[in-house]
Structure 1
């Protein structure tokens, strides 16, 4: 009689656990190494940032439409799910032996190394993904051995039940019956090994986060102290908004200010480490520290910023009081050479933008190297310690955060978003939005209040009109103006019968231009069209 060959494959739950714990070990080790060297070199973040850079523009626009300012959270969650599936796959492929899983982990590690290299982090940027790969492969091999030792305990190998078993998985209940005390010992060894790896991964991940936080900017922001501009912005008049009618407050609180950028993790740059280089087509190159910048003349301006990704009626528009150094002063001190067409700005995370030189030299526009927002140093997520703010231009060409370099050059040098199909120049378009009633909402029939905002930065809003159900246009009441670089609130009242209604709005700026009804998407230089809202009067 031939004895059936013993099957020593890992059970499905055990194999999956081996893969997941090995992946966690890899990510934690990489995060710890990155915390010691450079937080952006963490493999998880490096892959995410590279994914952002390589994602086609239509997909990016769709992500913003679907998730709004939570698009980066959605990306991180999606990456976590993919990593989880790959980890489980590594375990499933390695039920008979560890090699397939180790190879898969190694391949994923190579992706992390390539992503770190693509982020231009230098040779040290590869340390974290290399250590992550080694930790993942090592943890997988260690756990696989421990699991197989548990599955093939001495008592199990002696068991008549095992000799007579048909091919299949060795599950925990069978091991208990077959192995007795030795099976319990194998199980304890497996659980101890798994717990050890889990605890080590957790400690490494926590340590990496602590180290990254120490490189944070909280203390640096607090050390900036009060900023007293040589020229303050005019006081916002009480009638500048219609919040009781449903508009936003005129000044957007910092936590509510929209955020759209390419940074998966917020760059952490302290004032003591910050520097700015102004070079290229200039008479004199400038190299400033933060203290050098603070010795310049500071001014305060109230400015409404708008994102080019804002769809018709969208939320990506906010207003703040910014304090900073006039960019015109900086360029005049450097001396702009003839032929310079754009100021090519670079962020510490590698993002680039191109702003027309003539816009920055315009004394009436008042572009800033901003250091403060609504009375406090810039929040980290809004560009601390220094960012650009340029009225009248969409942010992707004029509002570089975490600024570190300004190069005077020609339009031949292409920026981050130009390489992805967006326009070279992007003046903000005259637009308006309905804030109340809400779309598909219900309101009492009769006298209905309609309110919203309009904007035409550097020109100013002169008129807003509203109509219901395609009827005649009616002039809305405008809130008190603040300046031509800010939004303007409006409201009106309409008498509406019970049933469904569609209201539309359109704005006319001070040049006499009335916004077009033609609907165009955000690419390549901003959306246009009349905003409309459907609701029901009951």
Structure 2
């Protein structure tokens, strides 16, 4: 074979293997698709520092970058196997077997896949070997053009069929059928002076499309509301199994909550605010009856992800923890946890915000460890008092006088004061926007009369307990970043 023909044989063999696995996974469970299973396992096994780098560098596109990177690696391996197989089909056969076994191992590792899930990577292994060896045998006959075209066409058809079958669970229709989630106790109206959006801060309520998303789900779970059940068990007096309609029939409450990701660097973007509608988590737990000794609420997502929230926190009457069903006036979007998720104000998301939640176990921290605890993060994760400069942007050139604006947060205590200083000079107290609650961020602004030239501006916040944000920079691991945010800009 020519080099081009050999490379094409390798590529088509791997493509056929992946498509076959994807098609079978559509029947036994979409997450069993070998590419997704291996990718999800890679995420689980990736060191925390590398995950932080991916989130910091690629933001919400980190999963797309992972999939593209895997595709490039697979394509390179396929081409290499094809080139090494110009005289013998053995190297390509070995690659097909190795990839198939890797998929089997990944599926068996996944906590959310049953035994039938292995059928998908087994199909990949068998089809990969058969297609590669068949193309390798036929390639010398007129370049194997007819066989190439047949395999390429079949792969496209099978890939489309896999996509369609994988979406046969019509979650979008289920979400639309939920209709309005009208709270019996609406959240207080957000005052008009709650932000300085016209001067560079975010709007007080984050539009749903802009709400940050940081999770480890390579593919968004697809669960219909009518199929969803929440189990509450463990150290309780009575086990509960609550369906979606069971929760919806209760008196729903609406709460305005600012959520923060522990991966947020100083000055980072992973903080957003929304109106969440749902059922008070405290009421559900008291209904189950929390037994003495239970210090952890261990929550599990439908895809097997886990988190542990301190029981004493979620049971606080004024904390406002929710089993949320809605967000910003509509049912939860799929990527934000439909049908239901947890929202616990004042705790970083990795211990408080389980999306697609399906299981709540009252247990102890000694007995169960959540997903991120085994990866170097802290057990308890109260949100730290922080602030950020939003305008001007770093390295910008502006004209004077300069209006500096930003946000501060200290959930659930609340922000009492924000101070700003330029070039290491005296601190100036900023004007605060109207406060909504201690569980939400607070916008601020200050006007500075600065001479032409370059300037460095720093900000710090003080919460209502009197604690002032420390200057020393600390990385997010293990329990959240600290430090004063600063920017440099030029006054023209």
TM range (shorter): over 0.9
How far residue 289 of structure 1 moved from its aligned partner, in angstroms, is 1.1
Kept in 2, the 8 Å contact 1:90–1:105? The answer is: no
Tell me the secondary structure at the aligned position of residue 240 of structure 1: coil
Q: Which one of the candidate residues 464, 485, 504 is aligned to 2:458?
A: 504
Q: Which runs of 5+ in 2 are unaligned?
A: none
What's the TM-score once normalised by structure 2's chain length? 0.98
Tell me the secondary structure at the aligned position of residue 496 of structure 1: coil
Q: Which one of the candidate residues 284, 304, 307 is aligned to 1:353?
A: 307
Name the CA distance, whole Å, in 1 between partners of 2:302 and 2:170.
14
Q: Which one of the candidate residues 387, 390, 394 is aligned to 1:432?
A: 387
Can you list the C-alpha shifts for 1:289-312, whole angstroms capped at 9, x where unaligned? 111121222100000000000000
1:123 is aligned to 2:115 = yes
Tell me the secondary structure at the aligned position of residue 304 of structure 1: strand
Name the CA distance, whole Å, in 1 between partners of 2:170 and 2:356.
13
How far residue 404 of structure 1 moved from its aligned partner, in angstroms, is 0.4
Which residue is 1:252 aligned to? Answer: 206
1:137 is aligned to 2:129 = yes
How far residue 458 of structure 1 moved from its aligned partner, in angstroms, is 1.1
Name the CA distance, whole Å, in 2 between partners of 1:125 and 1:486.
43
How far residue 104 of structure 1 moved from its aligned partner, in angstroms, is 1.2
How far residue 68 of structure 1 moved from its aligned partner, in angstroms, is 1.3
Q: How many residues align?
A: 490
1:441 is aligned to 2:396 = yes
Name the CA distance, whole Å, in 2 between partners of 1:207 and 1:500.
59
How far residue 488 of structure 1 moved from its aligned partner, in angstroms, is 0.4
1:229 is aligned to 2:183 = yes
Kept in 2, the 8 Å contact 1:26–1:136? The answer is: yes
Name the CA distance, whole Å, in 1 between partners of 2:131 and 2:269.
46
1:527 is aligned to 2:469 = no
Which residue is 1:49 aligned to? Answer: 40
Can you list the C-alpha shifts for 1:342-373, whole angstroms capped at 9, x where unaligned? 10000011111011111111110010000000
How far residue 231 of structure 1 moved from its aligned partner, in angstroms, is 0.1
Name the CA distance, whole Å, in 1 between partners of 2:491 and 2:223.
52
Name the CA distance, whole Å, in 1 between partners of 2:11 and 2:251.
56
Which residue is 1:492 aligned to? Answer: 446
Kept in 2, the 8 Å contact 1:449–1:491? The answer is: yes
Tell me the secondary structure at the aligned position of residue 485 of structure 1: coil
Q: Which one of the candidate residues 88, 94, 104 is aligned to 2:95?
A: 104
Which residue is 1:158 aligned to? Answer: none
Q: Which runs of 5+ in 1 are unaligned?
A: 1-9, 151-185
How far residue 92 of structure 1 moved from its aligned partner, in angstroms, is 1.1
Name the CA distance, whole Å, in 1 between partners of 2:265 and 2:435.
25
Q: Which one of the candidate residues 318, 323, 328 is aligned to 2:272?
A: 318
Kept in 2, the 8 Å contact 1:277–1:287? The answer is: yes
1:59-208 to structure 2, matched below 5 A, reads 59-120=50-111, 121-148=113-140, 150=141, 186-187=142-143, 190-208=144-162
1:461 is aligned to 2:412 = no
What's the TM-score once normalised by structure 1's chain length? 0.90
How far residue 514 of structure 1 moved from its aligned partner, in angstroms, is 0.7
Name the CA distance, whole Å, in 1 between partners of 2:435 and 2:179.
31
Give the superposed CA RMSD: 0.9
How far residue 216 of structure 1 moved from its aligned partner, in angstroms, is 4.3
Which residue is 1:164 aligned to? Answer: none
Tell me the secondary structure at the aligned position of residue 230 of structure 1: coil
Larger radius of gyration: 1
How far residue 37 of structure 1 moved from its aligned partner, in angstroms, is 1.6
Kept in 2, the 8 Å contact 1:241–1:247? The answer is: yes
Which residue is 2:4 aligned to? Answer: 13
Can you list the C-alpha shifts for 1:57-84, whole angstroms capped at 9, x where unaligned? 1111111111111111111111111111
How far residue 415 of structure 1 moved from its aligned partner, in angstroms, is 0.9
Kept in 2, the 8 Å contact 1:90–1:101? The answer is: yes
Name the CA distance, whole Å, in 2 between partners of 1:144 and 1:536.
64
Q: Which one of the candidate residues 286, 292, 307 is aligned to 2:261?
A: 307
Can you list the C-alpha shifts for 1:217-257, whole angstroms capped at 9, x where unaligned? 10010011111111000111111110110000010011100
Which residue is 2:373 aligned to? Answer: 418
Tell me the secondary structure at the aligned position of residue 242 of structure 2: strand
Name the CA distance, whole Å, in 1 between partners of 2:126 and 2:477.
43
